[in-house]
Amino acid sequence: MTITADSPAPAAPTDDAALALPAGAWHSVCNLTDLEPNWGEAALIGGRQIAVFRLATDEVFAVEQRDPATEAHVMARGIVGSRGERRTIASPLHKQVYDLATGERLDAPGTSIAAFPTRVVNGIVQIAA
């Protein structure tokens, strides 16, 4: 399934994270229940492919869909896991491991991937991209 985001979502309840982003940066992507826990889906926001993950805890993360090692758009099919308290995604092709919150590559120095702020408002997953 590929999800296409609609136009920027209206302002949600105010919190520090929302106030730090420019107006109109949030895009409604799907219902939280549309995402299977510990599995990724690809979303298209403004022509950019983004991998979206819902964890078993209902935390939602979004990272660049493009694998920097191969340039293939496959990160939504990566392996969800953790390193200590850090939630991770491993590339499905060569298994490079990235922090889902920051996009930092954890297994070796190398190219990181873009990570995007996410939130769930009234059951709707939103991504700032």
- Helix (H), strand (E) at residue 82: strand 79-83
Q: Are 51 and 76 in contact (CB under 8 A)?
A: yes
Strand, helix or coil at 125? Answer: strand
Q: Which residues of the chain have pLDDT under 70?
A: 1-24
Whole-number pLDDT of residue 9: 41
Rounded CA-CA distance 83/104 in Å is 12
Whole-number pLDDT of residue 41: 98
Question: Strands 39-45 and 86-90, how do they pair?
Answer: unpaired
Please state the pTM of the whole predicted model: 0.81
Whole-number pLDDT of residue 33: 97
**Domains of the chain by range and CATH?**
2-128 (2.102.10.10)
